[in-house]
Structure 1
Amino acid sequence: MIGKVLLPLDGSEASLKAFIPAKSIAELLGLNLCILYVSDEVLTQEELIKKLNIKTAELDSFMISQRSGVPETVIIEEGEKSDYIIMGTHGKTADETRRMGSTTAGVIEGTFKPIFLIKPDSYMNIINGKWVPHRALIPLNGAPGSAQALAPAVEILRKTTAKIELLHICQSKAEPIKEEGGFTAPYYEDYPQHEWASWSKEFIRRFSPVMENHNHINMSVSMAQGDPGDEIVTFAEKNNNDFIAIAWHGTMSQFRAMTLKKVLAESKCPIMLIKIKD
């Protein structure tokens, strides 16, 4: 059975920003693109297409359906039948001064499916109507759980010529990683250069077994020191990363997911979230 990419749309320009990346990823992976509209109003297919601002010339490239109910609940349910969810951070009623709308926030907390978030101001290099990442950033904190971001991201990136940049961030006051198998770099500015090289090689060996059958992928590891959110945003801007994949624990409550909140607020490229299964 052919898998699918789920694209929730509500007719807003902000949500439609996710159409090209969703269509591109579906084509790249050979998946069906399924557009979902959630509303209690009943529309004909023609009315629905018009409401969602979809070009009729593109109708052959996707399926479209509508369901009633609470948007985030329906999206999560339909997402369980999908391989990826790709959606805008904001919809018709969302305040764009906030990092995301309530529906998107509910979906990312409620699903374990890999989910792409496209902001209204996301920059995407679109060529011939397609978006394909060329330089991907995957931050890893040295815990095996964070490496879960690799597999779904590599499934996409292995189909491209994109370079994968692994970024490990050292924090002087960070608590030691309690997860079994954790592996972090020592926080020493004068650490011998040859030791850094040795550490980098071991870091890649431990956290990228998913790469074993994809030797054609260009991958490197970099290290930074400081606040993780700041370092990720700065690194992405400096290196022109056009795709960021982040593993997280699944809650946006106060004082949690501070790194992700920073990245969502300030990054300018599509972000892929993978919730860690504890």
Structure 2
Amino acid sequence: MQARRSSPHRGRSTWQTARRLAGTRGACFIDAERWRKEAFVTAAIPEWNGAVERRKTKPRTVENVILPLDGQNFSQSAIPIARELARLHGATLHVVYVGEQAAAAQDTLKWLGLKSSETRGVVMDHRKGNPAERVIHSARDLPRALIVMCTHTGQQMNGERFGAVAESILLTKPERIVLVAPEPDHPAWKLRSILLAHDGTPACHPAAGPAAELAHLAGAQIIALHVATRRNPRGEEPGSLSAPRYVDQPQHEWPAWADEFMSRMLAMGAAPSSMHFDLVVTGGQPGSEVAQVARERNADLVVMGWHGHWDHDPSATRVVIRTSGCPVFLVYCE
């Protein structure tokens, strides 16, 4: 193990840890910055071929993708994401019309931008009833369903809230949902980089599986992000893995912490050994930190666990969805 200290780096407010996995063996590169201090540590990492083989033998977890559309331009922003996720998973795409006015099936297909040769396999759902309830019922009736929708689907409630349909669906705590902000636009969305946000607690472990699966299917890079907050007590939840308090002596704490964190992520569902994998640690407000790293790393998708707390505006989850600049995949963690 080697360590060296560099000169202060101006212009950055957070401390960061980056870990790169190359092939079945590699190096741990840690760039930890706090109070204008930096340290660099290299350490060997164990082989993880076994985890890769386990990942390859698992069945697909998404068989149906549900896309709610209300006939407005905002809701259409989720179309490229839904189509690509359905393609990656080999899943059936279900379009659920949730607009206020009746619409013919052929009109909805036009919104999808599909050619006549591409409409095969797309299922149109024109059930009557409450729009949000129709989407929820579809998700419950269809095996291994994933909801993909724009945050502004349904009538806009106010400036701080999402669309009425989106808000109603989120209040039911769906198991898995991908939310797409109307801006920026994603006309030809492809999955190249996935940001997996994790706070080190067992409750957020379920998010690692979908992230690893998508990275495997798309050949995408994974960036595992841990946001360490000072105000939360360490070890608050049994099995939690809190980041080290200090970086003054990184050769003592950080390599062991990074190895343990990555081992937990790989155990939940490892990506192929040829995949690029980074571990990033930041300190600050969780919502803003996740969004900032997503923008800086040009992430195409954020995957994160959430506890279903959706009844207050300033939640970290809302901040990530609004400001990360890419779709956000929420995995419900009880």
Could you say which TM-score interval applies, normalised by the shorter chain? Answer: 0.7 to 0.9
The residue number in structure 1 matching 2:304 is 246
Give the partner amino acid of 1:72: A
Contact 1:99-1:264 at 8 Å conserved across structures: no
The residue number in structure 1 matching 2:265 is 207
Partners of 1:109 and 1:214 in 2: how far apart? Answer: 35
Q: 2:176 aligns with which of 101, 105, 114?
A: 114
2:276 paired with 1:221: no
The residue number in structure 2 matching 1:104 is 166
Partners of 1:37 and 1:236 in 2: how far apart? Answer: 31
How many residue pairs were aligned? 271
Unaligned runs of 5+ in 1: none
- Classify 1:55/1:100 alpha carbon distance in 2 versus 1 (closer, same or farther; 3 Å): same
Contact 2:304-2:330 at 8 Å conserved across structures: yes
Give the partner amino acid of 2:293: F
Q: Could you say what secondary structure the match of 1:36 adopts?
A: strand
What displacement does 1:249 show?
Answer: 0.4
2:208 paired with 1:146: no
Partners of 2:283 and 2:260 in 1: how far apart? Answer: 19
2:319 paired with 1:267: no
Contact 1:147-1:208 at 8 Å conserved across structures: no
Question: Which of the two has higher C-alpha Rg?
Answer: 2
Give the partner amino acid of 1:68: K
Kindly report which structure 2 residues correspond to 1:10-49, keeping only aligned pairs within 5 A, or say none. 10-38=70-98, 43-46=103-106, 48-49=108-109
Deviations 1:86-107 (A, max 9, x none): 0111125226843521211221
- Classify 1:56/1:135 alpha carbon distance in 2 versus 1 (closer, same or farther; 3 Å): closer
What is the TM-score normalised by the length of structure 2? Answer: 0.73
Unaligned runs of 5+ in 2: 1-59
The residue number in structure 1 matching 2:315 is 258
Contact 1:164-1:219 at 8 Å conserved across structures: yes
Q: Could you say what secondary structure the match of 1:159 adopts?
A: helix
2:250 paired with 1:192: yes
- Classify 1:125/1:147 alpha carbon distance in 2 versus 1 (closer, same or farther; 3 Å): farther
Give the partner amino acid of 1:115: I
The residue number in structure 1 matching 2:54 is none
Give the partner amino acid of 2:212: V
Partners of 2:166 and 2:99 in 1: how far apart? Answer: 16
**Deviation above 6 Å: which 4+ runs of structure 1?**
none
What is the TM-score normalised by the length of structure 1? Answer: 0.87
Q: Could you say what secondary structure the match of 2:318 adopts?
A: helix
RMSD between aligned residues: 2.5
Kindly report which structure 2 residues correspond to 1:123-134, keeping only aligned pairs within 5 A, or say none. 123-124=185-186, 126=188, 131-134=189-192
Moved more, 172-181 or 111-120: 172-181
- Classify 1:125/1:133 alpha carbon distance in 2 versus 1 (closer, same or farther; 3 Å): farther
Moved more, 148-157 or 138-147: 148-157
Q: 2:131 aligns with which of 65, 71, 89?
A: 71
What displacement does 1:218 show?
Answer: 2.3
Partners of 2:102 and 2:293 in 1: how far apart? Answer: 46
The residue number in structure 1 matching 2:234 is 176
Give the partner amino acid of 2:278: S
- Classify 1:263/1:85 alpha carbon distance in 2 versus 1 (closer, same or farther; 3 Å): same
Contact 2:213-2:269 at 8 Å conserved across structures: no
Partners of 1:78 and 1:86 in 2: how far apart? Answer: 12
What displacement does 1:216 show?
Answer: 3.3
